Structure 1
């Protein structure tokens, strides 16, 4: 009896071991399938948004839930004043036309500064705004780093900047330069003045805490620097990739 019980126990252990061994490859296969599915989905979305405007972003949706409404008017880049586009590039990513999604020089400067300054390019910000979410986490940063080169491959620089100009947060519940120009200045982004464009670009790092209509001394100084920067990138060719 004892031997039979021992054999049954051994048989059960053997079957359990075989079940576990057969389960591991299945789990690995499903993990690979899920990963490949996610990659295909993201690449498909990138291709889709290269020709179709993103209907909403996580930040826009979150603000809509919080405030009950948001202001956003999509404007094709051809109808946005060139000074607005140049001001944003000068403010956020002066080497936008020169890099492939990551500004190595800016990253190096940020590291030397102890991480106290940002080094995200416009492409990275578009990826974060359109495909991911706000906040700081290693997971989000890893996804952003993976998706950014793919966007650079499939989207033109003009398309990247167009999407940025339309999804960037430009105030509490305000998204895009057209909605911002209408709210703060009562004009279209097509008719915005150089000073107005520079001041709007100056608040982009912190649009909820900086005022366009009543700018602080710091914001005025930053806007003046942006005006100079916009003229510089036009003169030296660093605006050629998004201007006809």
Structure 2
């Protein structure tokens, strides 16, 4: 309006309060199954979380030792305690091990090493048919047992071994598995690894082992405290001759291709 008087605003219509929608609560009583399982849900949830954590830890440990050399094993530690002195052990890379030594170890312990994924089914079947009188453990299983687990025949250890072996086979090369095996195997009382064994028995480095020396070292692997590579019994001599022939065979038929560069 003129004369400085402010215009009067139009009267506002009163707001109508909309009625609130009532939220219907689910008043359905819990089922019998829910009432039974309710006290165990916390346990199941944390058990599942614990299992997942163990799987993640196992994957991490297997991946780690695929590139990092294990500093020791349970067997080395226990043997050192028994002898009350450090064990004789020197790590060497696969490139510093005579190829014939690698072939001899495979021929002695796991001739189908390049053909399986951690478990030799044919050897297991043969062991079952023999009533358990013969072993069926592959090199891969022995590495898992010695690096990650402990000696013994408990079902718990066997179950862990069964889970870790294919995991290691999937993450490590065959050459790496054999390298670790030859570096942690016991060849005499307190003597671990092929380098220490080569010096201990023959006064040479692992890369300089001859076919005969390699076969004799492989021949003592199942019972290192009862057999000698430098003073072989008749049994060790016969076994070494068989291993030497086997090493030549797997080289000729291609069963050494997976670990020979």
With normalisation by structure 1, the TM-score equals 0.90
For structure 1, which segment, 166-175 or 85-94, has the greater mean C-alpha deviation from structure 2 after superposition?
166-175
Q: Which residue of 2 aligns with 1:41?
A: 57
CA RMSD of aligned residues (A): 1.5
Matched, 1:133 2:142: no
Shift of 1:217: 0.6
Ranges in structure 1 where 5+ consecutive residues have no aligned partner: 1-19
Pairs aligned (count)? 227
Q: Which residue of 1 aligns with 2:96?
A: 79
Q: Decide which of 98, 116, 123 is 1:99's aligned counterpart.
A: 116
Q: Which residue of 1 aligns with 2:127?
A: 110
For 1:188-234, what per-residue CA distance to the aligned partner results, in whole angstroms no more than 9, with x for missing partners? 00001111110100011111111112111111100000000000000
Q: Distance in 2 between matches of 1:205 and 1:63?
A: 16
Q: Which residue of 2 aligns with 1:155?
A: 172
Shift of 1:35: 1.4
What SS does the aligned partner of 1:208 have? Answer: coil
Q: Distance in 2 between matches of 1:116 and 1:161?
A: 25
Q: Which residue of 1 aligns with 2:255?
A: 238
Shift of 1:21: 6.4
Ranges in structure 2 where 5+ consecutive residues have no aligned partner: 1-35
What SS does the aligned partner of 2:235 have? Answer: helix
Structure 1 stretches of 4+ moved >6 Å? none
Shift of 1:37: 1.1
Q: Distance in 1 between matches of 2:39 and 2:238?
A: 63
What SS does the aligned partner of 1:170 have? Answer: strand
What SS does the aligned partner of 2:257 have? Answer: coil
Q: Which residue of 1 aligns with 2:212?
A: 195
Q: Which residue of 2 aligns with 1:11?
A: none
Shift of 1:22: 5.1
For structure 1, which segment, 221-230 or 106-115, has the greater mean C-alpha deviation from structure 2 after superposition?
106-115
For structure 1, which segment, 117-126 or 55-64, has the greater mean C-alpha deviation from structure 2 after superposition?
55-64
Q: How does 1:170-209 map to 2 (within 5 A)?
A: 170-209=187-226
What SS does the aligned partner of 1:190 have? Answer: helix
For 1:71-118, what per-residue CA distance to the aligned partner results, in whole angstroms no more than 9, with x for missing partners? 110010011000100000000000000111111111111111111000
> In proportion to residue count, which structure has more helix?
1
With normalisation by structure 2, the TM-score equals 0.84
Q: How does 1:9-20 map to 2 (within 5 A)?
A: none
For 1:109-156, what per-residue CA distance to the aligned partner results, in whole angstroms no more than 9, with x for missing partners? 111111100001100000000010011111111111111000000000
Q: Distance in 1 between matches of 2:182 and 2:44?
A: 42
What SS does the aligned partner of 1:215 have? Answer: coil
